[in-house]
């Protein structure tokens, strides 16, 4: 049963530190998404890639967030420097473009 994997599952860091979250999409899926979930904002799409190329990152704060796909088996989301308002659950999803399968998420706490 293929699944999207995300590491780490939990991360606690201090404000100003760099945070890197990793995602391994399901083999064969050509679209990878990054979402953020908070109580206040709900689920927000940050960015997505198709065939490793970034297609839309309009939901991402550009000054501190960056997303990349160095290869087809790895997607990364980086925050530098992190701030307390970045505390959230970050989900990666992969799929054909209209069918998203989510990973378990990374719960980030920035103190």
Partner 1 sequence: AQKVTQAQTEISVVEKEDVTLDCVYETRDTTYYLFWYKQPPSGELVFLIRRNSFDEQNEISGRYSWNFQKSTSSFNFTITASQVVDSAVYFCALSEFGSGTYKYIFGTGTRLKVLA
Does 87 bind partner 1 (CB under 8 A)? Our answer is no
Does 98 bind partner 1 (CB under 8 A)? Our answer is yes
Does 26 bind partner 1 (CB under 8 A)? Our answer is no
Residue 76 near residue 90, CB atoms below 8 Å: no
Is residue 40 reached through a cis peptide bond, with omega within 30 degrees of 0 on the bond before it?
Answer: no
* x-marked contacts with partner 1 along 35-54 as a string, rule CB under 8 A: -------xxxx--x------
- Binding footprint of partner 1, residue count (CB under 8 A): 21
DSSP letter at 64 equals: T
| CA gap 76, 102 in Å, rounded | 15
List the one residue out of 82, 73, 111, 84 whose CA is nearest residue 92: 73
Q: Are strands 106-110 and 10-13 parallel, antiparallel or unpaired?
A: parallel
Does 60 bind partner 1 (CB under 8 A)? Our answer is no
Task: Give whichever of 25 and 95 is closer to partner 1, judged by the CB atom.
Answer: 95
Query: What does the binding site for partner 1 look like in residue numbers (CB under 8 A)?
Result: 33, 42-45, 48, 55-56, 89, 91, 93, 95, 97-105
């Amino acid at each position: 049963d293929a699944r999207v994997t995300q590491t780490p599952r939990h991360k606690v860091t201090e404000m100003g530190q760099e945070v890197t979250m990793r995602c391994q999409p399901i083999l064969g899926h050509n679209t990878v998404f990054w979402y953020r979930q908070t109580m206040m904002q709900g689920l927000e799409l940050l960015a997505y890639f198709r065939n490793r190329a970034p297609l839309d990152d309009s939901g991402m704060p550009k000054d501190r967030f960056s997303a990349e796909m160095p290869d087809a088996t790895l997607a990364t989301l980086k925050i530098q420097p992190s701030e307390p308002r970045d505390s959230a659950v970050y989900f990666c999803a992969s799929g054909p473009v209209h069918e998203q399968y989510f990973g378990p998420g990374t719960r980030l706490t920035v103190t």
